[in-house]
Structure 1
Amino acid sequence: MSRQSLENSRGLRLLEPGPVVLVTSMYRSHPNVMTAAWVTPLGFDPAMISIAIHPGRLTHEFISKSETFGLSIPTLDLSKAIHHCGVASGNDVDKFEVAGLTPEDPEEIDAPKIQECIAHIECGVIQRVTAADHDLFIAQILNASADDDYFRDSWLAEQELPLVSHIAGNFYAGMTRGYGVTLDEDDDE
């Protein structure tokens, strides 16, 4: 096997594809949405996540001021909307309108859910940490909901899962099937 040396910043790409989420935020009755893939669970009790956002983004400003945000989980059929929300600026356009996304009332926060998405997580910021050129927002999950055609206690692996992952730039990957793995008793030794 031949291996190439990479610039350190390109080493981050080895961790992709990562799940794509649409991050919603609201400040002074102005909603915004942005695409992100740098999101990770942090713990179960309390249920916490983190998301990395560059300080130059409007979403960063809105989350910093409101201390809440939403995560909506899109599907492959929303690929163009996903990419549009990742490259357009909420300072210039209403990304909900130009991406054809429908804001939906949230349960616990001001930032809207996205009607076309199959799952939603509403978050309250606990801490913000500056890490390199991004800030990491550490947040507690305040409310979560999902389409029961795709999720019960976890994603339903036995059927098609039209989830989206980001590879790099304008390249995305689709997770279209899950697989279960079982070990034989001898495998545990």
Structure 2
Amino acid sequence: MFLDPKQSRELIQTSPVIVLTTLNKEEKPNVATFAWVVSLSSEPTMLAMMVGKERYTFENIKTSQEFVVNIPSVDVLKKVYF
């Protein structure tokens, strides 16, 4: 589901967890959860989050130059929160 940038900003500001998905060189998915995300802009949509250099997520983003930000629904929150 794709959202209007203004809607996504509202969701990010109230969401306790963001799920970031990346792919490695073999296209194997890596999923990382972030509890600290800052919405910098809605036009264009810009977020800030910290990814450690020693993490698979960092290496995947550096290599592929892409990632997906997922905003979990309330139904999914319990699964990603722990």
Q: Which portions of structure 1, spanning 4 or more consecutive aligned residues, are displaced by more than 2 angstroms?
A: 44-47, 75-78
Greater percentage in helix: 2
Residues 47, 18 of structure 1: alpha-carbon distance in 2 compared, 3 angstrom cutoff: closer
Q: Larger % of strand: which?
A: 1
**Unaligned runs of at least 5 residues, structure 1:** 1-16, 84-169, 171-189
Q: Is the alpha carbon distance of 1:45 and 1:67 closer, same or farther for their aligned partners in structure 2, counting shifts above 3 Å?
A: same
**Structure 2, unaligned runs of 5 or more:** 1-13
Percent of aligned pairs with the same amino acid: 34
Structure number with greater Rg is 1
Structure with bigger RCO (C-alpha 8 Å, 6+ apart): 2
Superposition RMSD in Å: 2.2
Please give the residue correspondences for 1:118-133 in structure 2 after superposition, counting only pairs within 5 Å: none
Deviation of 1:43 (Å): 1.8
Matched length? 67
For residues 29-67 of structure 1, what are the alpha-carbon distances to aligned partners after superposition, in whole Å with 9 as ceiling and x for unaligned? 111111112211112333221221122221111112112
Instruction: Tell me the TM-score normalised to structure 2 length.
Output: 0.64
Over 3 Å counting, the alpha-carbon distance change for 1:19 and 1:46 in structure 2 is same
TM-score, normalising length from structure 1? 0.31
1:43 aligns with 2:38: no
2:21 corresponding residue in structure 1? 24
